[in-house]
């Protein structure tokens, strides 16, 4: 057992010692402490020459401690790239040290991230820069490296684990909405080299008796989350979590008969029960209504959603006739509650300057927001687009009418 606290107290009491402190981490390692006692005494009332002791001298040893703390998890869709878990690595040692960095993909989660790599905030701006932020310098990109150079006492540096996500699916190695991947980042104390780009060797704890003139290493770190990271082993770790937020999109198409006799807006089938509408038949001359419904039950919004529906409307061989101006959009298959769409406009102001102007040779658009057309994007086809179908309960419906020939 070391007796540094006792000796330091004695040095302060006896005076003549200069002590260097590192923030709140105590006396700097390798600080030399020297003190000497003096005995004064008398014989028969006569003062004798003072008798000095030998000099007691030692250097303050290293109290090696490091703290790794996850500061941000990350989420994204399948096939997302460069997703970053953020960590702070703090040198809690009373000396400047290098640190060796490593990562571990932990077990017990749902998937392994692809190509994980460690990036260190070497440009010091606290933001992950995979490239020079503005491409012009002098601030360079951060560095992909597995060490920290010359980290000062009580100084924190930002570190990221950057990885890609697998594709979605149910096969081994593929992911689904809500799947997670846990990665532990570990920092191990290493000897300071004083050189940039030249990490030192991992420190070993000093065994046996104190060596008064040598800087010994005493490990004081807590246990971490990486496998085998125990108390007082010269390293520390914490875990970040990747979460898959996928859009789970389904699409359905339904048809119903509005009128059996479209020309006269009437029906021929008898009203025999309360399910009368279900009795209507798509006979020649009938007005039918289609609804295409897209739903998203996943954890991420589906963006740039496009519905395409080629129709059996060829003038010679087709069996249906398009009803002009019949497109409606909404979030359910309720045609009455839907938003009326023009047939020839995708829904946005063509030049972004407003007001809406005639587009693609048709009449002036009515200002539809979702965007749907018939026969403009592709001949004899309904095309509808939505920029966003929200997560969990989002829906997007497009409805339109035709007449059976």
SS3 of the chain: CCCHHHHHHHHHHHCCCCCCECCCCCECCCCEEEEEEEECCEECCEECCCEEEEEEEEECCEEECEEEEEEECEEECCCCCCEEEEEEEEECCCCCEEEEEEEEECCCCCCCCEEEEEEECCCCCCCCCCCCCCCCCCCCCCEECCEEEEECCCCEEEEEEEEECCCECCCCCCECCCCEEEEEEEEEEECCCCCCCCCCCECCCCCCCCCCCCCCEEECCCCCCCCCCCCCCCEEEEEEEEEECCCCEEEEEEEEEEECECCCCECCCCCCCCCHHHHCCCCCCCEEEEEEEEEECCCCCEEEEEEEEECCCCCCCCCEEECCCCCEEECCCCCCCCEECCCEECCCCCCCCCCCCCCCCCCCCCCCCCCEEECCCCCCEEEEEEEEECCCCEEEEEEEEEEEC
Mean pLDDT to the nearest integer, 191-199 = 81
Q: What is the pLDDT of residue 339?
A: 85
Asked if residue 370 has pLDDT above 50, the reply is: yes
- Token pair for 51: 């008798």
Q: What is the pLDDT of residue 58?
A: 92
154 and 219 together in one domain = yes
Domain with 365, as residue range(s), is: 249-268+277-404
Torsion of CA 174, 180, 181, 187, to 10 degrees: 160
Q: What is the pLDDT of residue 405?
A: 95
> Cα(109)–Cα(114) distance, rounded to whole angstroms?
14
Asked if residue 138 has pLDDT above 70, the reply is: no
Question: How does residue 133 score in pLDDT terms, banded at 50, 70 and 90?
Answer: low
Query: What is the average pLDDT value for the chain, to the nearest integer?
Result: 84
Cβ(77)–Cβ(170) below 8 Å: no
Q: What is the pLDDT of residue 139?
A: 61
CATH number at 396 reads 2.60.40
Angle (CA) 93-94-96 rounded to 5° is: 75
357 and 239 together in one domain = no
> Cα(140)–Cα(161) distance, rounded to whole angstroms?
19
Q: What is the pLDDT of residue 24?
A: 67
Please count the structural domains in the chain: 3
- Token pair for 308: 């395409």
What is the tens place of the pLDDT at every residue in 284-314?
999 999 999 999 988 888 888 999 999 999 9
Question: Which of 190-194, 319-323, 329-333, 359-363 is predicted with the least confidence, judged by mean pLDDT?
Answer: 359-363
Question: How does residue 198 score in pLDDT terms, banded at 50, 70 and 90?
Answer: confident
pTM over 0.85: no
99 and 231 together in one domain = yes
186 and 286 together in one domain = no
23 and 77 together in one domain = no
49 and 102 together in one domain = no
What is the tens place of the pLDDT at every residue in 238-255?
999 999 988 889 999 999
> Cα(7)–Cα(2) distance, rounded to whole angstroms?
10
Angle (CA) 245-250-252 rounded to 5° is: 165
96 and 129 together in one domain = yes
Asked if residue 14 has pLDDT above 60, the reply is: no
98 and 144 together in one domain = yes
Asked if residue 173 has pLDDT above 90, the reply is: no
81 and 159 together in one domain = yes
130 and 255 together in one domain = no
38 and 139 together in one domain = no
What is the tens place of the pLDDT at every residue in 92-128?
999 999 999 999 999 999 999 999 999 999 999 999 9
109 and 231 together in one domain = yes
Asked if residue 350 has pLDDT above 70, the reply is: no
Q: What is the pLDDT of residue 360?
A: 36
Question: Which of 19-33, 65-79, 159-173, 197-211 is predicted with the least confidence, judged by mean pLDDT?
Answer: 19-33
Asked if residue 323 has pLDDT above 90, the reply is: yes
Question: How does residue 357 score in pLDDT terms, banded at 50, 70 and 90?
Answer: very low
Residue with tokens 């048809």: 255
Q: What is the pLDDT of residue 378?
A: 86
């Amino acid at each position: 057992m070391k007796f540094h606290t006792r000796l330091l107290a004695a040095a302060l009491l006896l005076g003549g010692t200069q002590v260097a402190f590192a923030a709140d981490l105590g006396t700097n390692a390798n600080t030399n402490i020297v003190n000497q006692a003096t005995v004064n005494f008398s014989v028969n009332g006569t003062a004798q020459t003072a008798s000095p002791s030998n000099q007691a001298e030692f250097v303050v040893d290293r109290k090696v401690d490091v703290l790794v703390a996850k500061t941000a998890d990350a989420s994204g869709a399948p096939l997302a790239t460069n997703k970053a878990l953020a960590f702070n690595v703090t040198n809690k040692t009373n000396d400047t040290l290098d640190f060796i960095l490593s990562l571990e993909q932990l077990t017990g989660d749902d998937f392994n991230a692809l190509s994980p790599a460690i990036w260190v905030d070497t440009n010091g701006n606290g933001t992950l820069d995979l490239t020079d932020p503005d491409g012009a310098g002098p601030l360079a990109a951060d560095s992909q490296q597995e060490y920290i150079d010359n980290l000062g006492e009580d100084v924190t540096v930002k570190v990221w684990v950057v990885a890609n996500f697998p594709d979605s699916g149910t096969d081994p190695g593929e992911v689904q909405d809500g799947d997670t991947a846990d990665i532990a980042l570990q920092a191990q104390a290493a000897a300071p080299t004083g050189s940039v780009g030249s990490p030192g060797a991992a420190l070993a704890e000093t065994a046996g008796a104190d060596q008064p003139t040598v800087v010994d290493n005493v490990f004081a770190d807590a246990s971490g989350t990486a496998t085998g990271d125990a108390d007082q082993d010269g390293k520390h770790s914490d875990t970040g979590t990747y979460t898959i937020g996928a859009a789970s999109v389904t699409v359905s198409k339904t048809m119903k008969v509005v009128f059996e006799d479209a020309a006269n807006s009437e029906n021929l089938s008898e009203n025999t029960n309360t399910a009368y509408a279900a009795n209507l038949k798509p006979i020649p001359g009938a007005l039918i209504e289609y609804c295409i419904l897209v739903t998203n039950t996943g954890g991420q919004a589906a963006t740039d959603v496009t519905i395409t529906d080629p129709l059996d409307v060829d003038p010679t061989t087709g069996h249906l006739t398009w009803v002009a101006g019949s497109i409606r959009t909404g979030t359910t298959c309720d045609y009455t509650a839907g938003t009326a769409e023009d047939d020839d406009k995708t829904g946005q102001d063509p030049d972004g300057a407003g007001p809406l102007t005639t587009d693609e040779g048709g009449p002036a658009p009515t200002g539809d927001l979702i965007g749907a057309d018939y026969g403009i994007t592709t001949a004899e086809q309904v095309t509808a687009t939505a920029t966003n179908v929200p997560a969990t309960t989002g829906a997007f419906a497009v409805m339109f009418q035709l007449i059976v020939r």
